[in-house]
Amino acid sequence: MELKVQTGDITTWKGDGIVVNLFEGAMSPDGGAGAVDKKLRGVLTQMIKKGEINGKLGSATVVHTFDRLPADRVCVVGLGKQGEFTLDRARQAAANGVKALRNAGAKKVATVVHGAGGLGNLDPESAAQANAEGIILGLWQFRKYFTDNNDVKQIEQVVMLERDATKLKVMKAGAERGEILANATNLARDLTNEPGNAMTPTRLADVAKRVAKEAGLEFEVLDRDRAKKLGMGAFLGVAQGSDEPPCIIVLRYLGGGKKSAPGVGLIGKAITFDSGGISLKPAADMQDMKGDMAGGAAVIAAMQAIGHLKPTLNVTGIVPATENLPSGKAYKPGDILKAMNGKTIEIISTDAEGRLILADALVYATKTLKLSPVVDAATLTGAMTIALGHLRTGLFSPDKELTNLLFRLGEETGEKNWPMPMDPEYAENIKSDWADIKNSGGRPGGSIIGAMFLKNFVGETPWAHLDIAGSSDNPKATSGYQNKFGNGTPTRTFVNLALALAAKK
């Protein structure tokens, strides 16, 4: 799909469809919608009065123009209440408009840039970025394994139109950045939605290698032998039940130069299929455990975008990748593993494997590579979904500055984070009678206990843990740019973190 930013008048654009907007509660259209309404001889105003167009967030009404405009159809998207308009609502509106026109059969579409006129204190560049993200994310589809795609509707071109030519330069820059971020998020979606037989650790490393080549990154893989030499007993313990070779994928972006500080560390859990191991999961919905590598997918995708956006600092992405399967070789409840920092871990549940592979990755990031700050993302605990549902990611960090930054970035990207407690008393739950710690502390406060486990492997390094078990998918996602499974969270948060930290330098 081609995305363009041009100066022009929405009422004179010729194509299959145009998108304008309306705030909830408005009794008559203004701006681009008002100009379109005038050409349609008040049709939109009549529909508003009859309640057929209401401006509510998520609404998208398609109307035929019957040759009163050069475009065949007009879609009026709802922006919600004017006082509640944000970047993310601009993102949602952009997605809803193009999706509605795609469903109507449109191939070439033009849209006003929602929020570019200063609504909600949005500047034109940020508004253009949010619109571009919404368009590309909203049009994403994963149909790789369907054999018949002949009747699948697709948009070929979207033109973002702005009447004020003085805004064009900054809006093009914003849209270009939005396109990079959205394409990266869609890569993470593609990877997460791949089945486990197609997206093994080796194949995930192949994708990372291709990303590195295209984005100008350094690429390295730590194989089983290298991990053994490094003392990564926790990671290798999880991997021993599978015939698929495990690996730790390392991507480096050296935007600050080789002689500067090691830079930021992004770590993503990549269990390419999680059966639970010996502590076997119930059969119901186990097919979704192909998505237990969503954190790793987000890291690879974020590194792609970082390579293209070129912030002036160093960033390293680390993705521990393996399957978690039961076999005669698999690790067992009661086993004791030794992590890279020497900590011994009693295994209570082999289904609490994500924290084990992250443990060695965190030690490697903080102790060996000296990265700082370090942020990890993982579909770590089912308890996170119970606590926050699918809307927000659980944010765990002892570092207040990093917590505040990640919270703000989440609000801006729509990948919303929520700070969770890390009282030291929670660590009592992972004390072991047989080793330094154990890998599970029971159901109550399960997400907090998982984060407390990880804290053992970061030392004094500023660190945050993002539990995306609920937020990486949303079964009720029916509108906007979200999709129901493997939505790419927190790719854009990772990228914006790198950009924000680079801006501080």
203 in active site: no
Q: Which residues lie closer than 8 Å to 424 by C-beta, 6 or more apart? A: none
Cα–Cα separations (whole angstroms), residue 45 to 18, 112, 228, 462, 464: 17, 19, 70, 55, 50
CA dist., res. 465 & res. 472, Å (int): 14
User: Nearest Cα to 417, choosing from 377, 359, 373, 477?
Assistant: 377
Tell me how far apart the terminal alpha carbons of the chain are, to the nearest angstrom: 36
Q: Are 345 and 356 in contact (CB under 8 A)?
A: yes
Cα–Cα separations (whole angstroms), residue 318 to 177, 247, 442: 24, 10, 29
Q: Exactly one of 355, 392, 455, 492 is catalytic; which is it?
A: 355
Cα–Cα separations (whole angstroms), residue 408 to 275, 386, 485: 35, 23, 24
CA dist., res. 59 & res. 179, Å (int): 24
Q: Exactly one of 38, 81, 281, 367 is catalytic; which is it?
A: 281
Query: Tokens representing 383?
Result: 């308890």
Helical spans, DSSP H, in 9-160 = 31-39, 43-49, 87-103, 124-138
User: Nearest Cα to 249, choosing from 322, 340, 324, 320?
Assistant: 320
350 phi-psi bin (left φ>0, alpha ψ -120 to 50, beta other): alpha
Other CB atoms within 10 A of residue 117 CB? 17
281 in active site: yes
Query: Tokens representing 71?
Result: 């475009």
CA dist., res. 392 & res. 474, Å (int): 10
CA dist., res. 345 & res. 454, Å (int): 12
423 SS3 class? coil
3-state secondary structure 327-394: CCCCCCCCCEEECCCCCEEECCCCCCCHHHHHHHHHHHHHHHCCCCCEEEEECCCHHHHHHHCCCCEE
| HSE-up (13 A, CA, CB side) for residue 344 | 9
Catalytic machinery residues: 281, 355
